[in-house]
Each structure stands twice: as structure tokens, then as C-alpha cells.
Chain A
């Protein structure tokens, strides 16, 4: 049982690597499907959602926490696949969306710029100059996004368990290497690991419900789950009606699999 997240620059061979690995291990492979599921959940277009992950947040986005809504939506869509235990994910931001989970191998692929340019020239008919510009723009946008959302540098090797350089290594070799890694004890099936993944899915479902509902959409809320008990934390406005807490609890309780809800909210005055 293992989950492999594949992070890479555009046109670095990530999809081919993910498909090779999934084929070898007999795991499902997902990438774009997660975006489609998240976009459908949130009622936005897939292109609009992709843009939210490929371009750095603007000032207004950061103030309104719009991006957070999309991150929660994407994470929840991914969590549905992750809970089954076996998965190769080659979509956006896997190293962050799956952070802290057991049995996840966070890989990053790097490839020389010349090889990436060649892919675009051969497959998309772009000129070498246009291809290079495109690659640099996409890479820079993703790097800015990661910096602003997580305060990290996307190329920092500490964000990954392994960084694989495809300059001299073939996709097949990278695939065999990764498959051998997944046979190690860190990735063995245990009941505890299964339970952790199940808890992750439930917490993500609650967070998704809270960002979808108009009453709680703008609130910076977090959720953790343990055996059906969900604890929601974060800050919420202290309204004279006293309804906010009740509403958060109500939305959370309505999520399938939730047995009990505990609130650990910090209240703030919305009209200071």
C-alpha cells in the first residue's frame, strides 16, 4: 500500500513516469481527474481552477482567501482516491496536499530545459524560443504560487522524499527505482496507516462542506478527524445571533461518516 505523488516542471516526463509506475504496480493513476472532480464540487470551470494553481495569488485573492477554497476542494477530491491506499498522483501540489500522511512517497522529477523544449517543439509544433518562454513562464508561476501559499521554494529538495533527475536516467529506470522503494517497510500496509488515511478523507470532506456552504465559505477553518469524531478549529465571527458555531457544527455533522463534532473556535468581533 503506498501513495506516490509526482511533482515536476511542465513537460518533464511526469505523466509518462506516473503511467509507467501505475502500470508496474497495478495502482490507479490520477492527475487531471482530480481537478475535474474539484471543479465540479466547487461549481467552477476546470480551466479556472487550474489557473488558481498555476498562477501566483493576487493581493485580492489573498485577502479573500479565495485560493484556500480551491486548495480545500482539490485536497478533498484527492483524499477520496487516497483513502483506498494505492495511488499514483501526478497532479498539482501533491507534496503539500498530502503532507504529513503515512506511506506517501513524494517524488520530484527534474529534466534538462533542452529536453523539455524538444518535447514542446515536437509535439506542439512550437518554435524553440516560444517553447522555452512557455516553460519558464509556467515554472515561474508555479514557483510563485508555492512561495505565496506555503512559503516554500518548489525546488527545495527537502519538500520531497526523492528527487529524480531524468537527464541521464530513463523513465523505465526511474520507474523501477521507485517500485523498489515502495517495497520497503516504510510503505507496508498496516491498520494504523489505513485508519490515518480514512481520518484524512473524513476531515477533508468536512473542510470541503464548510467551504462550499455560503454561511461558512470565507472562514479559515481546519478539521481533524479520528474514528468519526471531527474537531473543527479556526476563527469565526461572534454574531449576536450566536448562530455561527451552530451552523459550523450542523454542516460538519451532515457529512457522511461523521459521528460527533467538537468545536475549538476562536471568536472575533466582525464589527470592531
Chain B
């Protein structure tokens, strides 16, 4: 059993690799479900949570630590899913949200811009290539700035990941085989000790969620919140 966090640029084939891998290993595969859970906890929309995890924080966020609340809620939702010890996560910022968790296999997928533009066009036939390129560059830039502001690291730094796979020359199936092979290595095996630490991590995340909700104006949270 292992926990695998897949990071990638938008439209880089991450979802397909994550699904292939989850299928191969028999693990649950989650992405936006974590955002939905965080949104429920905070009584916000999924779109708001997504925006808070993609766009760099502004002065208001920095003054009020508003952004912090969203990050904590997403981290708690993700931690809750990690406790089982088997997971493929292909959502936002997995490599950073789980950076204190031992044994997480962090993977980055990259693909050339032309391939990603093609992926946008195949999904949105009425989009022009230049608009698709602008969209990709804009999302990349925002994510890069978000990571820089919140964690002071470069999202493209290969030392943040165990493995960086270039999908320009390697197929999705090959990427899936590579990650699957690595996940079998002892270092990424979720042991009883790791599981104890995962539970402690999840409990700590829940405590922090309760704290940030308590600090928000009116302690606002949904009925089924933390």
C-alpha cells in the first residue's frame, strides 16, 4: 500500500495517468472530491475553494489569513483520505499538502505546450489554439505564484518530487507502469508505523480546521463542518 500524489500542469494528462494507476493498484483515486469535502466543511462553493488553491493570495488574504483557512480545510480533507494508506491523489498541491507525511510518493507529470493545447482543443472544439495556449499559460502562472507565495518553492523544482515524467516521449501507460513499479518499493510501503503517523497527521489537520473555523467571523461553517 502506498500514497501517491500526482502533480501536473493543467491538461497534461494527469487524470488519465491517475485513473490508470488507481485501476492497476486497486486504490481509490481522488481529485476534486477533496475540494468538495473542504467546501462542505467551510460552507463555501467548490469553485471558491478551487480558486483559493489556484490563484496567488492577495493583500486581503495575507492580512486576514483567509487563504490559510482554505488550505487547512483542503489538507484536512486529503489527510482523512490518506488514513487508509492507499490513495492516488491527482488534485491540487498534493506534493505540498502532504509534505510532512512520511513515505508519500510524489510524482510530477510534464507535457509540451503543443500537446496540452491539443488536449484543450479536443475537449472544447470551439476554442481557438491561441485562446487554449493563453488559458494554459495563465493557469500555470497562477499555480506557480501560488506555490511560491505559500510555500516559497518553485513548482517545477524536480527535487520536490520523487519522479518527474515527461509525457512528450513516454506514453500514459508507460508513466502508469513506472509509478506502479516505484509504489511497490519498500520505502513507499505504508507500514503500521506510517499509519499511526497518518492518523496523527489527520487528527492534527482536524484540530487546525476547528481552530480556523473558530477564528472566522461568526465561526462560520456548514452544519456538517469540522
A170: chain B residues within 8 A (beta carbon): 185, 187
In the complex the two chains form, is A162's CB within 8 Å of B164's CB?
yes
Would A173 and B182 be within 8 Å (CB), given that A157-B156, A180-B177, A184-B173 are in contact? Answer: yes
Counting contact residues on chain B (CB < 8 A from A), the size range is: 20 to 34
In the complex the two chains form, is A161's CB within 8 Å of B169's CB?
yes
Q: How many residues of A contact B (CB 8 A)?
A: 25
- B154 CB to closest chain A CB (Å) equals 10
In the complex the two chains form, is B162's CB within 8 Å of A184's CB?
no
Would A158 and B163 be within 8 Å (CB), given that A110-B158, A169-B185 are in contact? Answer: no
- B161 CB to closest chain A CB (Å) equals 6
Greatest chain B CB density within 10 A among A160, A170, A176, A177 is at A177
In the complex the two chains form, is B178's CB within 8 Å of A181's CB?
yes
- B201 CB to closest chain A CB (Å) equals 17
- B128 CB to closest chain A CB (Å) equals 25
How far is B188's CA from A168's CA once the two chains are assembled, in angstroms?
9
Return the contact of A162 from the options B163, B185, B187 (Cβ within 8 A): B163
A160: chain B residues within 8 A (beta carbon): 164, 166
How far is B186's CA from A176's CA once the two chains are assembled, in angstroms?
12
How far is B159's CA from A168's CA once the two chains are assembled, in angstroms?
10
Would A169 and B178 be within 8 Å (CB), given that A161-B169, A186-B169 are in contact? Answer: no
B171: chain A residues within 8 A (beta carbon): 184-186
Question: B174 contacts the other chain (Cβ, under 8 Å)?
Answer: yes
Binding site for A on B (CB under 8 A): 108, 110, 112, 156, 158-159, 161-166, 168-171, 173-174, 177-178, 181-182, 185, 187
A sample of 7 cross-chain residue pairs with beta-carbon separation below 8 angstroms, ordered by A number, consists of A157-B108, A158-B112, A167-B159, A177-B182, A177-B185, A184-B177, A186-B171
Having A163-B158, A164-B162, one finds 7 other A-B pairs with CB under 8 Å, namely A155-B158, A164-B163, A169-B182, A177-B182, A180-B181, A181-B174, A181-B181
Nearest 10 pairs of A and B residues by beta carbon: A163-B164, A180-B181, A173-B185, A184-B174, A163-B158, A157-B164, A177-B182, A161-B166, A161-B169, A177-B181
